[in-house]
Structure 1
Amino acid sequence: MVTFTTYQRVPCVFFFFFPFLCFHTLFSLAATTVRIRQGDVIRDTKGETLVSDNFNFVMGFFSLDNSSSRYVGIWYYNVPGPAFIWIANRDKPINDTRGSVTVGVDGNLVVLDGTRNPVWSSNISSLHGNGSEAVLHDDGNLVLSSGNKVVWQSFENPTDTYVPGMKVPVGVSMGKSYVFTSWKSERDPSKGNYTMGVDPEGLPQILVWEGGRRRWRSGYWDGRIFQGVYMTGNYLYGFTLNSDGKGGRYFTYNPLNGTDKVRFQVGWDGYEREFRWNEAEKHWSEVQKGPYNECEVYNKCGGFAVCDGLDLSVCSCIRGFEPKKREEWDKGDWSGGCKRMTPLKDERNSTSSVGTEEVSVGEDGFLDHRCMKLPDYAHLVSSMNDCEGECLNNAYCTAYAYVIGIGCMVWYGELVDIQHFEKGGNTLHIRVAHSDLGSGRKKNRIVIITAVVAGLLCLGIFLWLVWRFKGKLQVLPTVSSSSCCKKSDVLPVFDASKSRDMSAEFSGSADLSLEGNQLNGPEFPVFNFSCISIATNNFSEENKLGQGGFGPVYKGKLPSGEQIAVKRLSRRSGQGLEEFKNEMMLIAKLQHRNLVRIMGCSIQGEEKLLVYEYMPNRSLDCFLFDPIKQTQLDWTRRSEIIEGIARGLLYLHRDSRLRIIHRDLKASNILLDENMNPKISDFGLARIFGGNQNEANTNRVVGTYGYMSPEYAMEGLFSVKSDVYSFGVLLLEILSGRRNTSFRHSDDSSLIGYAWHLWNEKRAMELIDPCIRDSSPTTKALRCIHIGMLCVQDSAAHRPNMSAVVLMLESEATTLPMPTQPLITSMRRSEDREFHMDGLDVSNDLTVTMVVGR
């Protein structure tokens, strides 16, 4: 009975309140509108607002800290603690709640106070008052139209905030100059002391002014990022410089994730900030700030001086310069800057008299300063090949720099606002007098002398140890550093018993003879360990090129001047003599223009070294994932790299003497020679797992997360199709300029998932790196993406082999089958569980992630 009675009462209660609910709903709908026409009024007393179509933004009245002053502004809809992106009457607040917004009889949008007097107006004089209406768009832009023609918009009349969708002109190319003006204080939105905008005169860069004085600058735009922001990453990343088709240019901004709420603001305290809305924590996160530190304050150290936040002295004069006012400088007042120690050649007579003898003046030169924020007031010159000559030929030129994406930049007169970065930045070439060119070397004399003495001591200790243990070692005659690396007279020092075993185990073309001093003749020399040590400056950190899974790699230089790369195999890597012998035999036999060539090896006790040809441009990832160097890889270059990798991999799989499965193909294992030609490295390391590598199962997984095929990562099964999968991932990375693992915290769990979604939605061109998208041939780009999707299919049987891949890349006549959706795009999410697999010997810092169905 109780249950029945309660059930009977529910409809009664509902119908009792139904009229009230209907009235409340109608009132709520009446309180908001999507457009304002002539005669329409938004009243503060009724809490009425103007909203965008999809409820992204809202315009209405507001006050700050319970103040009686009322303003009309635009803010994000349903975001706690409103962030105001635009304010109409910022300098003329209304003192009560009787204000209103309407379209006046003259067609202008106006804000009226309680006595119907205007406190703000769009103030367009050419309107005739017929058919005007105001609409708030979903990007936050308030637009006034008359006769289907836009006559005014808030994006062209900003206050203190920039949001995606705004077009900011560069210079006065669009006939306007949009400047963002800060609030007067944290709770007073009237115009303050700071403004922000694009440099109206020089090369494009963002500036913050205090009054008419520069306070901060972003550095120059290189087509990808602003060069002067130290921690680039995603900071100030996403801007694009566009052309309006009429000779004008303007900046726009698009966040990497289109759903992100992002805004840039010049604060009342003079700082430029980038904010992103954190939906999980419900607050605005500050992700970038300028000035970030004291060195980013404009011209902190004065002319011809460098600011370094990591240096205790903060400010220092450029080499060849000294403080103008030494006393003030020593007290920490660096504003006076520095002056030249020696005038340039053109600043004095071509000869100077010393008694009765004339002494000629040497030619000016340049000192290189790396990792620098380039000085302000740069000039762009047309020279593409001889930037240095352009500067030398102008008596007023004081420095030059060549920046990818910008070109040849020169500076005249005093150099201001220079900063040294720990990493990144550009190389600045500063002009100094001939006599000052060696000043940098003089400062290093003590260091050089100390190094020489230390080297002699180490050599003495080494010779003593050789003499001390001569009964246990087979010692060769000492070889001088000038001739120790000749191929004809070197032999590694190693245990005699081991050498006999090793000599017996090598056979045929890979015979190691103790008398011959070589592996299989002169084409495969064995270097003396001490010679390689000298060539690499005793494996110094300065010579270190990188850290691989089997040990570090160092740059070296032979006495002949030839540069080499030396892999010093780690004793803790688990790689023993068997593995090393195997790698020597394999790589010595494999020769291809897209494979790195091995020049020799060295063995001394447990020390095992491989000597490779040196690749001056290092590895592909150094360019592909660097926001600055990335611009050097245009569409043509990327296509050539993709095809070169494919041909090299095909050689390993089909055309080499032994079928080789790489198992760790990735961007860091693709090296680039001086002509940016790709060469695959580390292709012999996995050979130790046995057989001729047609197909196998292993309990030791060698590879890198994100590049391994599902059957290899989960079951230990590998085949040539495992390399095809890795190639597909690498191909998608080259096209997009993004790492496969950069999607771990996004809706798409990987680059593969992201690519599939774009492919499936017919938006595949959005995958192409933005810096080459406009210049990429659409048909070829889509074909490459198609091939990549075929290579990363879950089933190895569905993937093409490398011969088919090469044919697809080189012949557009080949018909491509349709790929299937990779399973990882539908199964892996942020809640996936990670398991460390017991019993697996995992190399290269690998974490194996198991996919668990839900």
Structure 2
Amino acid sequence: MAAMLYWLTICHLLISTTSYASCVASTDTLFPNQFLLDGQTLVSSNQRFEMGFFSPFFGYRYLGLWYKNLGPNVVWVDNRFNPLGIGARLVIDKTGCIFLQDFFKTVRIFKPNQNVPRPVLQLLDSGNLVFGDSSNLTAGEYLWQSFDYPVDTLLPGMKVGWDQKTGINRTIISGDYLFKLESGDSGQSPQLVLVTKQQTVSRWGPWDGRKFSGSDALMDNDNFRPIFNSTTDACYFTFEAKDDSTLKLSLNPDGKIQFLRWNNATMVWAVVGILNEDICDQYTTCGPYGVCIVEDPPCLCPDGFIAASPGDWDKMDFTKGCRRIIPLNYTDKDVFVKNRGLKLPDNATYWGMLSPEECGEKCLNERSCMAYTNVNINGNSSKCLVWLADLLDMRRPQKSGNDIFIRMAHGKLEAPVSHGRGKTKRKREWIVFVSLISVAALLILSTYKVLCQAMRTEVLDEPEINQPGNSPGALLQGTDVIAYDSSALAAATNNFSLANKIGHGGFGNVYKGLLETGIEIAVKKQDVTSRQGVKEFENEVNLIAKLQHRNLTKLLGYCIHGVEKFLVYEFMANNSLDKVIFDPARRVTVTWPTRFNIIKGIAKGLVYLHHDSRLTILHRDLKASNVLLDREMMPKISDFGLARVFNDDVEEKTQHVVGTRGYMSPEYIENGHHSTKSDVFSFGILVLEIVSGQRNWGYRHPIYDVGLVGYAWTIWNDGKAIELLDPVIEKPGDLNEVLACIHVGLLCCERRAQDRPSMIQVVSLLEENEMSRLNFVPLDPYFLKELSHSGRSRDSVNGFTITESTAR
């Protein structure tokens, strides 16, 4: 081994000095057929930044970028998941492809999808490594740039946020922590957040036109100027340094986010700002409606509120927050009380450009609207923000707060936030007295109203449901599934408010709810205009109510209220699989062991459906959005609206083909034939998606010009199947699990149904002690060429119902 390393080193030196047509050192550009060798660097023209190969520890080489002559301060790394060995070099060829190579492998950085007449790679004075046509670089037209792929550091001009045209979502990550601009999905206002394992750690925002609300550390100061941009094309945060200082924003492995400035006198990086420095920077320190202050104790309640659990507050446990002294009326008798100088709560929803009066009136008419404010985005204070659930994560900053109007019962008109200190005993007694009188009056009125309503109902009401097959008794005889009352579901979901919406699909929307018993639920509310009707609803209820398996979603109950239909499921904390593995930010956190467990869990769920339950059930719509994940990332197959019961495990034919693009088997698409092997095919597609982090539908490999299955098949035959593994995650030490999953995925995607394994065989092959049995070669799989490339389904003699791949 020592002799081999010796000769490899000699060869490297000889090649470095004799074989290359053109090498570079200490310039800022790299042209086609030039190489940047290990030991050579690119240096920006102002001599501030330098790029080359480095080793954080012995044996591996990484392409990095750092401040020149400022000690160890790497600010960007390209190949952190693909380290190089002996002979590391950076290459740009005449077509514009950028590669990293050593003596044993090649790692592609970028391949243009268009002809580049004069390709050039250049290190700019800003620290941005850019690629494009030399005639366009001066105009800022880049085909690729390192600023789009930050690691744990932001330089001035680097962005956190997303670009709608390119689909790039820029985040910074260090250890278990991820700093990102949270999406404005479902009308929510974008804000900066620090998360770990999908749990929010800290929050800054939302942006109000000049600052991030409640975030003093992100205000304009002597060192930097914050910049926020939100348009239809892009939404991002960045900053610019003042006085031409050497400045950077760094995320540490312990979760600290710091602004660092280089001190030429001391020759060290000095901390000039910390974003999450005190207890009030921790998410929801003071619980719902609580206000955090940097004092002891750190929490107080707004005026008109008291501690929800005074005993816990005495023990310095503030997690239960505050509650109103007088409960809301939820009528036009409610009022809004102005609270000054607060950090705006989490989960703000944007209701459009409305005046303060219009915003308040609209909020009053929405039962779930707990507060509102107007921010000065366009210079006229006309952006209406509302909160449709409890107010979370408020604080009182020194200078970056906003006014917010909180909904209160009529009669509670005192305004600002009170510290709750220095009040006289007489005032406290007066408040208690008035509160008791008010509560007593409300109880009397409520009792009277209930009695009147009961009498009226006894005389006038008729049963809402009197249709054969749709009544609770007829629908679920012999099961323990609960028939819920619609009012209970409305109360659990804040009247199905937007703040509680967690998904949608062809059937309607899904809402998170909390029952009076404290159980979290997910309520699927069928839209009255949904293409799925009574048959699909009854099919799902009847099937899933009779199924019990840890990898299937559990149906808790249902509700039929007139024309409205609801299904009640156990709540899945991590949402659906597609929102994890296809999200650029979240997929980084899903390690290979977690992905492997998800694959095995789905397979075991299908074994139960196909073989172990007393009925043979074909799902017919297995896809990433129909796999839900609980708090431990355990997968659970959901949505049985299209499922079928088989008497025998044989192939049947349907006249109405249903399913989702990219997941349907060829015999099903072409002839309407389906069997359990149709689900096996869908499972194979899903496995390849989980391994690669890519959607099958719409995927096209830039080099091989094939879809996802075709790409997997090609590199499998070339002996490079491991390249399918999602590059954003760390490769496991044992690659056998990855290769086994790719192998199984290809076996399940074979064109002929009879060539595919059963799900029992799949589970056996995936078990650790059965890896050695993977000794048979997959046949030519079905590439889905038309479906994955053209974006159109092929014609069929049967009727088609094809659903989009979204959460259902």
Give TM-score scaled by structure 1 length: 0.53
Aligned residue number for residue 402 of structure 2 = none
- Is the partner of 1:502 in helix, strand or coil? coil
Q: Distance in 2 between matches of 1:176 and 1:727?
A: 38
Worse-matched range after superposition: 794-803 or 533-542: 533-542
Distance 1:525 1:617, change over 3 A: same
* Per-residue deviation, 1:536: 1.6
Contact 2:701 2:707 in 1 (8 A): no
Pairing 1:447-458 to 2, within 5 Å after superposition: 453-455=364-366
Contact 1:167 1:252 in 2 (8 A): no
* 1:205 correspondence with 2:75: yes
- Is the partner of 1:315 in helix, strand or coil? coil
Distance 1:453 1:427, change over 3 A: closer
Contact 1:172 1:200 in 2 (8 A): no
Q: Distance in 1 between matches of 2:42 and 2:360?
A: 64
* Per-residue deviation, 1:599: 0.8
Contact 1:790 1:800 in 2 (8 A): yes
Q: Distance in 1 between matches of 2:609 and 2:214?
A: 51
Distance 1:658 1:288, change over 3 A: same
Specify the code of the residue in structure 2 equivalent to 1:557.
L
Match of 1:596 among 528, 553, 565: 553
Aligned residue number for residue 712 of structure 1 = 668
Aligned residue number for residue 692 of structure 2 = 736
Aligned residue number for residue 513 of structure 2 = 556
Contact 1:784 1:809 in 2 (8 A): yes
Aligned residue number for residue 642 of structure 2 = 686
Aligned residue number for residue 141 of structure 1 = 35
* Per-residue deviation, 1:530: 2.3
Q: Distance in 2 between matches of 1:764 and 1:793?
A: 17
* Per-residue deviation, 1:843: 3.6
| Residues 287-322 of structure 1: per-residue CA shift (max 9 Å, x gap) | 456889xx985699xxxxx99899886431551749
Aligned residue number for residue 214 of structure 2 = 319
Q: Distance in 2 between matches of 1:780 and 1:442?
A: 48
Contact 1:275 1:284 in 2 (8 A): no
Contact 2:215 2:343 in 1 (8 A): no
Aligned residue number for residue 817 of structure 1 = 776
Q: Distance in 2 between matches of 1:613 and 1:299?
A: 42
Specify the code of the residue in structure 2 equivalent to 1:501.
P
Specify the code of the residue in structure 2 equivalent to 1:817.
F
Contact 1:157 1:178 in 2 (8 A): no
* 1:699 correspondence with 2:655: yes
* Per-residue deviation, 1:772: 4.6
Q: Distance in 2 between matches of 1:803 and 1:540?
A: 43
* Per-residue deviation, 1:271: 7.8
Pairing 1:435-834 to 2, within 5 Å after superposition: 453-455=364-366, 496=463, 498-502=465-469, 510-511=476-477, 520=478, 523-682=480-639, 684-687=640-643, 694-741=650-697, 743-744=699-700, 746=702, 747-772=704-729, 774-810=731-767, 811-814=770-773, 816-824=775-783
* Per-residue deviation, 1:708: 1.3
Distance 1:171 1:479, change over 3 A: farther
* 1:415 correspondence with 2:266: no
- Is the partner of 2:616 in helix, strand or coil? coil
Distance 1:755 1:506, change over 3 A: same
Q: Distance in 2 between matches of 1:199 and 1:670?
A: 51
Aligned residue number for residue 169 of structure 1 = 54
Q: Distance in 1 between matches of 2:646 and 2:764?
A: 30
- Is the partner of 2:531 in helix, strand or coil? coil
* Per-residue deviation, 1:242: 3.9
Specify the code of the residue in structure 2 equivalent to 1:140.
Q
Aligned residue number for residue 192 of structure 1 = none
Bigger RCO (CA 8 Å, 6+ sep): 2
Specify the code of the residue in structure 1 equivalent to 2:548.
Q
Distance 1:544 1:265, change over 3 A: farther
Contact 1:660 1:693 in 2 (8 A): no
Distance 1:276 1:708, change over 3 A: farther
* Per-residue deviation, 1:724: 0.4
Q: Distance in 1 between matches of 2:68 and 2:631?
A: 37
Distance 1:159 1:824, change over 3 A: same
Contact 2:206 2:213 in 1 (8 A): no
* Per-residue deviation, 1:839: 5.9
- Is the partner of 1:804 in helix, strand or coil? helix
Contact 1:550 1:573 in 2 (8 A): yes
Q: Distance in 2 between matches of 1:665 and 1:503?
A: 27
* 1:433 correspondence with 2:294: yes
Contact 1:161 1:264 in 2 (8 A): no
* Per-residue deviation, 1:726: 0.9
| Residues 492-512 of structure 1: per-residue CA shift (max 9 Å, x gap) | x998484242367965x933x
Contact 2:510 2:524 in 1 (8 A): yes
* Per-residue deviation, 1:567: 1.0
| Residues 554-576 of structure 1: per-residue CA shift (max 9 Å, x gap) | 11111222211111112222222
Q: Distance in 2 between matches of 1:177 and 1:574?
A: 53
* 1:845 correspondence with 2:790: no
* Per-residue deviation, 1:158: 4.6
* Per-residue deviation, 1:73: 11
* Per-residue deviation, 1:172: 12
* Per-residue deviation, 1:600: 0.7
- Is the partner of 2:483 in helix, strand or coil? coil
Contact 1:170 1:200 in 2 (8 A): no
| Residues 397-444 of structure 1: per-residue CA shift (max 9 Å, x gap) | 999xxxxxxxxxxx96623799xxxxxxx9899996048766886867
Contact 2:54 2:64 in 1 (8 A): no
* Per-residue deviation, 1:169: 3.0
Aligned residue number for residue 215 of structure 1 = none
* Per-residue deviation, 1:677: 0.9
Aligned residue number for residue 156 of structure 1 = 41
Distance 1:608 1:316, change over 3 A: same
Q: Distance in 2 between matches of 1:829 and 1:320?
A: 45
Contact 1:594 1:645 in 2 (8 A): yes
| Residues 149-174 of structure 1: per-residue CA shift (max 9 Å, x gap) | xxx96x43555699xxx843379999
Q: Distance in 1 between matches of 2:700 and 2:62?
A: 40
Aligned residue number for residue 85 of structure 1 = 30
Aligned residue number for residue 272 of structure 1 = 128
Distance 1:169 1:315, change over 3 A: farther
Q: How much is the aligned-residue C-alpha RMSD, in angstroms?
A: 5.7
Contact 1:595 1:681 in 2 (8 A): yes
- Is the partner of 1:617 in helix, strand or coil? coil
Specify the code of the residue in structure 2 equivalent to 1:730.
L
Q: Distance in 1 between matches of 2:736 and 2:57?
A: 38
Specify the code of the residue in structure 1 equivalent to 2:131.
F
Q: Distance in 1 between matches of 2:681 and 2:61?
A: 52
* Per-residue deviation, 1:793: 0.3
Q: Distance in 2 between matches of 1:544 and 1:498?
A: 27
Rg larger for: 1
* 1:255 correspondence with 2:100: no
* Per-residue deviation, 1:721: 0.2
- Is the partner of 1:414 in helix, strand or coil? strand
Distance 1:398 1:565, change over 3 A: same
User: Structure 2 regions of 5+ residues with no counterpart?
Assistant: 1-13, 87-97, 101-106, 149-153, 160-180, 182-189, 193-204, 227-234, 240-246, 260-269, 287-291, 301-339, 349-355, 370-444, 451-459
Contact 2:558 2:567 in 1 (8 A): yes
* Count of aligned residue pairs for this structure pair: 548
